[in-house]
């Protein structure tokens, strides 16, 4: 399988003092099964690939790119089942969302909250999200713990769902990345404090990915099934 990413710059630097703040705004990428068995093509124009093809729009909000990586993994997985998946930064908008069979929204956690653009989007598009099959996934460090991987036991997701006018049909909760050296001084020590309190790695050279990719794969399969049901109606 070959995967591609957009040709536009994948990151934009936000000048904030000496901090290396990086907002990931990759170009939209489309994954779809190619006529060559198992292969995927990227960055093609959206279009109906055939009567049995489900079209999925995956919108993500990511600061250091890990939620994007998970979104692209879901896109590639769904493409192996014949789905067409457009993976797009939420900041680029979703005016065409009603044309899809399913919508997936993904966000990382930053300082105890999902990104504001996600909550704003959900508020503004609650009706559409309620009408279409839809899924949500949340990426955080606390989700590295097996005891924080359900919508009931993950405080961020529990709060999100409680306050949201949208009740996603499917929710994925995935561990994120800890990379102290990538953060500015304030964030580095703030996250280290959280790690101390939650018994995580505190060595400032730690760079670890807590994502369980088998879990993401299983979530992608559930997204495909959700979109297929919509396509069948």
Ligand X SMILES: Cc1cc2nc3c(=O)[nH]c(=O)nc-3n(C[C@H](O)[C@H](O)[C@H](O)COP(=O)(O)O)c2cc1C
Residues that bind ligand X (CB under 6 A): 62-67, 108-112, 139-142, 176-177, 183, 187, 191
Q: Which is nearer to ligand X, 75 or 176 (CB)?
A: 176
- The residue number whose beta carbon is nearest to ligand X equals 176
- For residue 55, the minimal CB distance to ligand X (Å) is 24
- For residue 1, the minimal CB distance to ligand X (Å) is 23
Q: Which is nearer to ligand X, 109 or 226 (CB)?
A: 109
* Structural Rg of the chain based on CA atoms: 18
Q: Which is nearer to ligand X, 81 or 215 (CB)?
A: 215
How far is Cα 174 from Cα 230, in angstroms, rounded to an integer? 25
By the 10 Å C-beta count (0-12 exposed, 13-18 middle, 19+ buried), 60 is classed as: buried
- For residue 52, the minimal CB distance to ligand X (Å) is 32
- For residue 185, the minimal CB distance to ligand X (Å) is 11
Q: Which is nearer to ligand X, 108 or 164 (CB)?
A: 108
Q: Which is nearer to ligand X, 28 or 231 (CB)?
A: 28
DSSP calls for the chain = ------SS-SEEE--BTTB--EEE-PPPEEEEE-SSTT-EE-SPPP----TT--EEEEEEE-SSSHHHHHHHHHHHHHHHTT-EEEEEEGGG--TTGGGSSEEEEEEEEETTEE-HHHHHHHHHTHHHHHHS-EEEEEEESGGGSGGG-STTT-HHHHHHHHH-S---SEEEEEE-EEEGGGS-HHHHHHHHHHHHHTT----TT-EEE---HHHHHHHHHHHHHHHHHHHH-
Q: Which of 233, 222, 99, 87 is nearest to 168 (CA)?
A: 222
Q: Which is nearer to ligand X, 20 or 229 (CB)?
A: 20
- For residue 158, the minimal CB distance to ligand X (Å) is 13
- For residue 53, the minimal CB distance to ligand X (Å) is 28
- For residue 213, the minimal CB distance to ligand X (Å) is 14
Q: Which is nearer to ligand X, 183 or 219 (CB)?
A: 183
């Amino acid at each position: 399988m070959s995967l591609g990413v957009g040709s536009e710059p994948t990151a934009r630097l936000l000048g904030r003092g000496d901090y290396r703040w990086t907002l990931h705004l990759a170009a939209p990428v489309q994954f779809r099964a190619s006529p060559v068995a198992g292969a995927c093509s990227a960055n093609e124009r959206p279009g109906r690939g055939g009567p049995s093809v489900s079209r999925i729009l995956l919108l993500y909000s990511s600061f250091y790119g890990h939620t994007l990586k998970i979104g692209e993994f879901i896109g590639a997985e769904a493409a192996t089942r014949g789905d067409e998946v457009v993976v797009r930064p939420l900041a680029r908008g979703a005016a065409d969302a009603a044309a899809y069979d399913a919508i997936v929204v993904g966000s990382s956690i930053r300082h105890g909250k999902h990104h504001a653009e996600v909550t704003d989007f959900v508020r503004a598009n609650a009706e559409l999200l309620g009408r279409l099959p839809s899924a949500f996934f949340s990426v955080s460090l606390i989700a590295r713990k097996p005891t924080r991987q359900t919508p009931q036991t993950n405080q961020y997701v529990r709060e999100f769902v409680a306050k949201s006018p949208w009740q996603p049909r499917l929710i994925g909760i995935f561990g994120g990345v800890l990379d102290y050296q990538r953060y500015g001084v304030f964030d580095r020590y703030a996250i280290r404090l959280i790690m101390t309190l939650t018994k995580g790695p505190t060595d400032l050279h730690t760079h670890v990915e807590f994502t369980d990719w088998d879990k993401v794969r299983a979530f992608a399969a559930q997204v495909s099934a959700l979109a297929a049901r919509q396509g069948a109606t």
